Chains A and B, each alone.
Chain A
Amino acid sequence: MSYQILLLEPDNLVAKQCKNYLESNGYKVSWCKNAQDAVNSADSNSPGLVIMELLLTAHSGIEFLYEFRSYNEWRKVPVIIFSRIPRADLPASDNTLKDLGVSAFLYKPDTSLQRLGEKIKAILSTGIL
């Protein structure tokens, strides 16, 4: 089965690189640069997983997450935060992230594409969907 992944990433180059990698591993990827486009995309594509940067234009990633979770149909979609912000710099507690359904927090400078791929595989194999 080919999972639909929503990639919310404002940087063009990083987004293209992630998209290429994920598509070469059999996933379908819809890429959005900002929170509003991501909500619209989720509406049309029904993603099975979200990968998102926290540093977005206009809205913060956490604001996007709150909005995303406010829709019934997206409450159980696993989310991977994949950010330039280290976990220690994010004021949200582990419980807050858990409540927001964040399955993993990956710090970009520490995370290879292969590691990202492994994390996705592990999350999807838990059968949350």
Chain B
Amino acid sequence: MVQSRAATNLPDFSGYETNDLFTSLAEQVKLPFVQIAYAAELLEGINDKAGTEALRSTIALSSQSALRLIDGYLLSVALQREGKLELEPVSVSSVLYDSAQVLSPYAKALGCELRLQFDGKYEPVMAHRNALQSALVSLGYSFIEAATSQSAQELAVVSLVVRRRSAGISTGVFSSNINLTSLLLARAKDLYGKVHQPLPNFDSGNGTGVFVADALFSHLQTTMKVAQDKGLRGLAATLAPSNQLSLV
């Protein structure tokens, strides 16, 4: 028996781009599932406590990365269905700090140095806290994976950054090992869901975290762009400051 979407309460995937994002997500989550499957297989043949603990940690981290990506995607679909979001004053520094807390264990496990970069105090920005944090976390996971995949020799550094710009407060994720350009990003945005590796110089599976973040930033009425920060290259979006006085 065929049930209607309303009856099953399924999200509406009729939009072409949403379909592509879903396809991209489905491809991407294969990787953490493979990691989990292999960790489980290795657990069967291991006797020492440290080895067992390391494999359990891999399972937990891989599950977390997959779940965060799925959550980011679902949030972007939910926000799309809501239409125009009511934005509210949000402390971007606080969101960045919370995002770093989420990403820190993953960065540590992959041998990546995670940095928080502030250059002062910032007034609140007009945003949706969950969407902003989800976008930064999605980008963070992607950058950690990409930066640590690029070179075995160099220490991978990923920075979560807030800066004041003339147009507002800019926030994003940057890395020393990333080779992204506006052209590559624009091409990738046409290709995601259609090819296996829309971002050929950015090795984070198929880069779905980047596209999920892009979708979330668009719900925040801003655009994610390729940017540079103190010699690092990355992706950032500028948010309008709130006129409300900060209480902090």
Report yes or no: A11 in contact with B31, Cβ–Cβ below 8 A.
yes
Q: How far is the CA of A23 from the CA of B201 in the complex (A)?
A: 30
Which of B118-126, B144-152, B213-221, B223-231 is found at the contact surface with chain A?
Answer: B144-152
Min Cβ gap B114→A in Å is 15
Most buried by A among B41, B148, B149: B149
Beta-carbon contacts under 8 Å, B104-148 to A: 110-111, 145, 148
Which of A69-77, A97-105, A108-116, A118-126 is found at the contact surface with chain B?
Answer: A108-116
Report yes or no: B58 in contact with A13, Cβ–Cβ below 8 A.
yes
Which residues from B are CB-within-8-Å of A84? 27, 30-31, 34, 196, 205
Which residues from A are CB-within-8-Å of B151? 33-34
Min Cβ gap A69→B in Å is 22
Which residue in chain B gives the minimum CB-CB distance to A17? B38
Known: A21-B42, A57-B200, A58-B201. A109 touches B34 (CB 8 A): yes
Report yes or no: A108 in contact with B152, Cβ–Cβ below 8 A.
no
Which residue in chain B gives the minimum CB-CB distance to A112? B41
Report yes or no: B149 in contact with A113, Cβ–Cβ below 8 A.
no
Which residues from B are CB-within-8-Å of A13? 35, 58, 62, 110
* B45 part of interface (Cβ distance < 8 Å): yes
Min Cβ gap B53→A in Å is 14
Q: How far is the CA of A34 from the CA of B200 in the complex (A)?
A: 12
Min Cβ gap B30→A in Å is 5
Which residues from A are CB-within-8-Å of B145? 11-12
Report yes or no: B150 in contact with A109, Cβ–Cβ below 8 A.
no
Report yes or no: B33 in contact with A18, Cβ–Cβ below 8 A.
no
Q: How far is the CA of A55 from the CA of B42 in the complex (A)?
A: 24
* B39 part of interface (Cβ distance < 8 Å): yes
Report yes or no: B37 in contact with A32, Cβ–Cβ below 8 A.
no
* B242 part of interface (Cβ distance < 8 Å): no
Which residues from B are CB-within-8-Å of A114? 41
* A20 part of interface (Cβ distance < 8 Å): yes
Most buried by B among A18, A24, A33: A33
Report yes or no: B39 in contact with A17, Cβ–Cβ below 8 A.
yes
Q: How far is the CA of A41 from the CA of B196 in the complex (A)?
A: 27
Which residues from B are CB-within-8-Å of A109? 30, 33-34, 37
21 A-B pairs with C-beta separation under 8 A:
A11-B31, A12-B110, A13-B35, A13-B110, A14-B31, A14-B38, A17-B38, A17-B58, A20-B42, A21-B42, A31-B152, A33-B151, A33-B152, A37-B152, A55-B206, A56-B203, A108-B30, A109-B30, A112-B38, A112-B41, A113-B41
